[in-house]
Amino acid sequence: MEITLALLKPHVLRNSYALQQIKTLIGNNFTILESKEVCITKELSERFYAEHKGKFFYHRLSTFMRSGPCYAFILESESCIAKWRHLMGPTKVFKAVYSEPNCIRALYGLSDTRNACHGSDSESSALREIAILFPEFKIRKPDKHI
């Protein structure tokens, strides 16, 4: 079994239809170990998106992620990281729309920054991101979870 961090971005929380559709999709595909609404502070954003610091979109991304509450999940399933990333689709919404029109980002993404959702890109990223957004979550030994 594998776990991952999934994050729904602020504009999705302002769209109750989108939020419900995505929650249903998640519930049908994963075991939800934890979930909560989370307000991304400047400090959380800096830690969460540290690898993007200095990139041209960093300030825009950080401002957007603090524009309203997000919804975070710890998900578990076989091949959880790849499975959630497949459901999200490509980072860039225009690519998502043309290549995978039914993926979450094609349906609910508005721009490359406001691309509806986030998912960890590796096991180590999942552990790092879960520790930032769910500091109280106890990660079981790698052979049990990841």
Instruction: Return binding residues for ATP.
Output: 9, 57, 85, 91, 105, 115
CB of 127 to ligand CMP, least distance (A): 16
CB of 91 to ligand CMP, least distance (A): 5
- For the chain, the C-alpha Rg in angstroms (whole number) is 14
4 vs 146, beta carbon nearer ligand CMP: 4
Near ligand CMP in 107-146, by CB under 6 A: 112-113, 115, 118
Please identify which residue in 29, 35, 77, 91 interacts with ligand CMP, judged by CB under 6 A.
91
Question: What are the contacts of 122-125 at 24+ separation with CB within 8 A?
Answer: 122/81, 123/2, 123/81, 125/5
Q: Tell me the site size for ligand CMP, rule CB under 6 A.
A: 8
11 vs 118, beta carbon nearer ligand CMP: 118
Sheet holding 70-77, edge to edge: 31-38, 70-77, 2-8, 117-119
Please provide the DSSP assignment of 86-131 as one string.
HHH--SSHHHHHHH-TTSHHHHH--SSSS-SEEE-SSHHHHHHHHH
118 is catalytic: yes
Please identify which residue in 41, 42, 46, 57 interacts with ligand CMP, judged by CB under 6 A.
57
Instruction: Find, among 65, 117, 54, 58, the residue nearest to 86 by Cα.
Output: 117
Please identify which residue in 26, 61, 130, 133 interacts with ligand CMP, judged by CB under 6 A.
61
Residues that are catalytic = 118
